[in-house]
Structure 1
Amino acid sequence: MLSFEHESLTQRVVFSSGGAAARVRAEVERLGASRVMVIAAAAEAELAQAVTADLSVVLRWDEVVMHVPVEVAERARTAAAAHRADLLLSVGGGSTTGLAKAIALTSGLPILAVPTTYAGSEATSVWGLTEQARKTTGFDARVLPRSVVYDATLTVSLPVPMSVASGLNALAHCVDAMWGPRVDPIDRALAGEGIRALAAGLPAVVADPVGLPGREQALYGTYLSAVAFSSAGSGLHHKICHVLGGRYDLPHAQTHAVVLPHVLAFNAPAAPEAEQRIAAAFGADSAIEGLQRLRRDVDAPQALRDYGVKETEMDDAVQAVLDVVPDRNPRPVTAGDLQRLLSAAWRGADPRLTSNEEENRR
């Protein structure tokens, strides 16, 4: 019998290419805000200025750091209070949205998010903070942006390699949602459509970086991936990436892009229904074949060693990951499993060969 519980998030989404400034202004007015704190990294300052030029901005904050260190969050919280901000407007990627969430977590201030990457944080109630090389995440309704303005023209300046890594991060949300601890049929339906859109959009972005059709599909898939992930909960893939990112300050999107195929190859044999859905979304015979075909077509990041982490550090991370493995992962996870998986991701080994070798050992 079909039986499940699903809770939909309350959020307004405005999706249209071009005219972001007018749409942002309309959302600020709708939210009744008059003292806006704009959060945008220095690299996004010009774009953020263009999007927010007509607003009553009381503070522009550009201290944005990957993985949201607690000390950075505290400084931003203090500044928001001192300037009596009544709305947090984030313009940028996941780190920017993440900082806005950190402020909202303690202040309750509403967030209006304007994404410029495919991170997906704008459509989740997930927050994350890093302290002493440990990243902590949680769910809280206060951090879900009230409104999101998606405009594909704002992503055109994102370089193709970063677009690919960011898009694969979004795809990881879809895959993890297929077997997250709270997954239901609605989550899987959203995740499947998200995979289809991203698999169509990312190669189009590579082929035509300034064209909008591919970037629109990537943004659409990103939104679906985030909604599915926020509902289903964090699976094995995200637990691994959060540990690695927090401990070794690895680049967020690239870490997800590298680790994803190894987790998919590990979990898929124990989750046949999810595996079939993923394969169908890719239009492939198997989930891992579909993912690897996409990764080849977009020249995806290959190995964790390319980002400065040492092989010995993979062994050091095993226990930290083991401590946070979700109870409802499709298959049991041992320290040996994680050591092999992380080693393969560090080397950039073919996950299909690694998975076959593991099965032969069992």
Structure 2
Amino acid sequence: MQNFVYNSQPGRVLFGTGTLHQLPQEVERLGLQSVLILSTPHQEEQVSSLAALIGSKSAGIFAGATMHTPVSVTERALEIVSERKVDGLIALGGGSTTGLGKAIALRTDLPQIVIPTTYAGSEMTPILGETTDGRKITQSSPKVLPEVVIYDVDLTVTLPVSLSVSSGINAIAHAVEALYARDRNPIISIIAEAGIRSLFRALPAIAQDPSSRNGRSAALYGAWLCGVCLGSVGMALHHKICHVLGGAFGLSHAETHVAILPHALRFNETAAPEALTTLREAVGHQDPARALFDLGRSLGAKMALKDFGMPAEGVDRAVDLTLETPYWNPRPLEREGLRQLVSNAYEGNVP
């Protein structure tokens, strides 16, 4: 067995159905008195019920969270934090809202309660990606790790199938790269396989019956496991490219993961034979890269970067930015192979 180091991330997780009703007790347990509730604009009505749930301990709602966590949005939220003497944060939503909470926490060290409504998984990580001047910069700090995460299956039942698929495959990407991470370890590999297996089977069930409690529960559980992977070990080429594309072209974070993952896995598979063996078991297919491509395509996901806003001339820019400050990767990066990867994802080719 390989030598390894395993670090467990601190945090409290409540998982199940109806768990949202435990929010007031969690606010009380953390000793909070003035809590700012965060959301995206389209979820503002939904989070108004949270303000009612915690009553006088609500410091109001900031519904300005947006994709890729622009620093300008964080600065506006920080003004409210200061004005209202906020001592804690509640973030309800997907990666955009979670990212905003983390960005505020990085600068203030305020405690966070995160209530995910998608399968993004970032709530389980000490990682923050922020965008400024067309570049997305990623960093890691214990300050941004949420103190409490409340998973309530009930909140995911109305998540549209398209968003369920894109955020679910986004979560799978965390676990795929954890299997060949430089600091991988046997514990995280077990968690990664279980997370991939759960989501790979749950997403078709949700597409067939969006109200399926079994499907929704399995997907949320899988997303939690994959989020643990993201928060415990380093990522590689796939995540680097996705961050580049999001920062440079404003592409949807989750959709970008769907389009890139099969091609990034194909690029790396010969350099990661143990990971490939585990993936074959998890997805039940001898060619995991093709299986992941077919999963997204069969569930109606866009598989071509050109279909959601990337310009053709962006292929070379993406390669340049990826090589400028590359992540560690099991296979050495070279321009020709990397350009082929991005070009295939741009066109939506079968890997």
* TM-score range normalised by the length of the shorter chain: over 0.9
Task: Find the aligned partners of 1:136 and 1:289 in 2 and give their Cα distance.
Answer: 30
- Does structure 1 residue 27 correspond to structure 2 residue 26? yes
Answer yes or no: is the 8 Å Cα contact 2:126–2:145 preserved in 1. yes
8 Å CA contact retained: 1:304, 1:346: yes
Residue in 2 aligned with 1:310? 311
SS of alignment partner, residue 310 of structure 2? coil
Q: Does 1:271 align with 2:282?
A: no
Measured against aligned partners, the alpha-carbon deviations of 1:319-344 in whole angstroms (never above 9, x if no partner) come to: 110123223x1211111111111110
> Secondary structure of the residue that 1:311 maps to in structure 2?
coil
Give the corresponding residue for 1:282.
283
Q: What count of residue pairs does the alignment treat as equivalent? A: 349
Q: 2: CA distance between counterparts of 1:294 and 1:223?
A: 20
The match for 1:355 is none
Greater Cα offset, 68-77 or 252-261: 68-77
In the aligned structure 2, how far is the partner of 1:88 from the partner of 1:102? 11
- Return the offset for 1:269: 1.6
Per the alignment, residue 344 of structure 1 pairs with 344
Q: CA deviation at 1:288?
A: 2.0
Q: Which residue in 2 is equivalent to 1:8?
A: 8
1:74 aligns to what SS in structure 2?
helix
- Quick one: distance in 1 between partners of 2:327 and 2:183? 11
List gaps (5 residues or longer) in structure 1: 352-362
* Equivalent residues of 1:201, 1:215 under 8 A apart: yes
C-alpha contact 1:126 1:139 (8 A) present in aligned 2: yes
The CA distance in 1 between the partners of 2:182 and 2:37, in whole Å, is 35
Q: Which moved more, 1:45-54 or 1:338-347?
A: 45-54
Q: Deviations over 1:292-341 (max 9, x none)?
A: 342344233210001121111111121110123223x1211111111111
Q: CA deviation digits over 1:182-219, x for unaligned, max 9?
A: 22121211111110010111111101112211111111
Question: Equivalences for 1:1-362 in 2 at 5 Å?
Answer: 1-20=1-20, 22-55=21-54, 56-327=57-328, 329-351=329-351
Which residue type is aligned with residue 71 of structure 1? S
- The CA deviation at 1:118 is 0.7
Matched position secondary structure for 2:168:
helix
Contact 1:177 1:187 in 2 (8 A): yes
What secondary structure sits across from 1:285 in the alignment?
coil
**Corresponding residue for residue 357 of structure 1:** none
Quote the Cα distance in structure 1 between the aligned partners of 2:296 and 2:91: 30
Q: Does the residue aligned with 1:209 lie in a helix, a strand or coil?
A: coil
- Three-state SS of the structure 1 residue aligned to 2:64 is coil
Of 8-17 and 290-299, the range deviating more from structure 2: 290-299
Structure 2 CA distance, aligned partners of 1:15 and 1:216? 9
Contact 2:120–2:171 (8 Å) recurs in 1: yes
Letter in 1 for 2:6: H
Contact 1:182 1:232 in 2 (8 A): yes
- Using the alignment, how far apart are the partners of 2:88 and 2:231 within structure 1? 23
User: How far apart in 2 are the matches of 1:116 and 1:31?
Assistant: 22
* Alignment-mate amino acid for residue 25 of structure 1: P
C-alpha separation in 2, matches of 1:11 and 1:60: 24
Distance 1:75 1:29 in 2: 27
Asked if the contact 2:51–2:60 (Cα under 8 Å) also holds between the matched residues in 1, the reply is no
Q: Percent identity of the aligned residues?
A: 43
SS of 1:54's partner is helix
For residues 342 and 293 of structure 2, what CA distance do their matches in structure 1 show?
Answer: 18
Once the two structures are superposed, residues 126-179 of structure 1 have per-residue CA deviations (whole angstroms, 9 ceiling, x without a partner) of: 011101000001111110110000011111222111110111100111111112
Structure 2 residue runs without a partner (length 5+): none
Q: Which amino acid aligns with 1:339?
A: R
CA distance in 1, matches of 2:140, 2:182: 13
Whole-Å separation in 2 of the counterparts to 1:128 and 1:13: 23
One-letter amino acid of the structure 2 residue matched with residue 14 of structure 1: L
Runs of 4 or more, structure 1, over 6 Å off, are: none
Distance 1:224 1:176 in 2: 13
Query: Following TM superposition, by how much is the alpha carbon of 1:83 offset from its aligned partner in structure 2, in angstroms?
Result: 0.9
